Amino acid sequence: QLQLQESGPGLVNPSETLSLTCTVSGGSISSSDHFWGWIRQPPGKGLEWIGSIYYSGNTYYNPSLKSRVTISVDTSKNQFSLKLSSVTAADTAVYYCARSLAAVFDYWGQGTLVTVSS
Amino acid sequence: DIQMTQSPSTLSASLGDRVTITCRASQSVSNWLAWYQQKRGKAPKLLIYQASSLESGVPSRFSGSGSGTGFTLTISSLQPDDFATYYCQQYNSYPWTFGQGTKVEIK
């Protein structure tokens, strides 16, 4: 059974960089059929797609965040990562990692709350 | 960006009710539309993809229909496990976008 697990700091200072890692178990991140993505959800609000990456390193970002986002993949560790720079309180959210097949997210991590505050 | 608008935002229903949630796209997304269920404090769960295809393991009381700009998610007979928030998502063009959600509450 495929499992995804987010990890990283739960508190980030304003103007700094948010860094999260998603560890994939029970399957290979090098699957040719799948992309791996990040989605966030501010408290009490809806879902926002941040970006996705293929195992080869090809990335697709939401233009609204593109200038601040970097998604990378480490196939040797079966992990992919998110970096979001220059964060503000508006970036406070639950961050999910997920697997996608044709842009449909079929497996999700449990999510991790990241709060931006000093 | 393609805007996805769901209605209603909140729906009150009783066990056994037939429930319909609507999702409208600001431009055609063909049939590249998915539905997710999210319970409080949990990750979303995929229910429907390509507008009407039921994800493996999802009960058959869930069904989806529509194409172009108008879509519906129907629960044929509401069960206790179905009280949750439902989101549509288009994947016709980047960036992938979600509706604002429809909360299904107990009447």
Predicted local confidence at residue B57, as pLDDT: 96
Residues on chain B touching A109 (C-beta within 8 angstroms): 43
Task: Decide if B43 touches A, using CB distance below 8 A.
Answer: yes
Q: Which of A84, A63, A62 is nearest to A72 (CA)?
A: A84
The minimum CA-CA distance between A11 and chain B, rounded to whole Å, is 19
Tokens of B102: 């429809």
Q: Which of B74, B28, B4, B40 is nearest to A49 (CA)?
A: B4
Give residue-wise pLDDT tens across range B40-95. Answer: 999 999 999 999 999 999 999 999 999 999 999 999 999 999 999 999 999 999 99
Predicted local confidence at residue A102, as pLDDT: 85
Q: Which of A1, A2, A8 is nearest to A81 (CA)?
A: A8
Strand locations in A30-92 (E):
35-41, 48-53, 59-61, 69-74, 79-84
The distance from CA B84 to its chain's CA centroid, rounded to whole angstroms, is: 11
Mean pLDDT of A87-98: 98
Mean pLDDT of A64-84: 97
**A47 SS3 class:** coil
Peptide bond into B8 cis (omega under 30): yes
**What is the dihedral sign for C-alpha B84, B85, B90, B91?**
negative
Dihedral angle of Cα B93, B94, B95, B100, to the nearest 10 degrees: 10
Predicted local confidence at residue A80, as pLDDT: 98
Find out whether A94 and A41 touch, Cβ atoms under 8 Å: yes
Count CA atoms within 13 Å of residue A51 on its CB side.
24
Model confidence band, residue B19 (pLDDT cutoffs 50, 70, 90): very high
Task: Decide if A63 touches B, using CB distance below 8 A.
Answer: yes
Separation of alpha carbons B49 and B19, rounded Å: 19
Q: Which of A93, A103, A16, A89 is nearest to A48 (CA)?
A: A93
pLDDT > 70 fraction of chain A, expressed in percent and rounded: 100
Q: Which amino acid is at A99?
A: R
The minimum CA-CA distance between B7 and chain A, rounded to whole Å, is 14
Give residue-wise pLDDT tens across range A17-69. Answer: 999 999 999 999 998 899 999 999 999 999 999 999 999 989 999 999 999 99
Predicted local confidence at residue B107, as pLDDT: 87
Predicted local confidence at residue A19, as pLDDT: 98
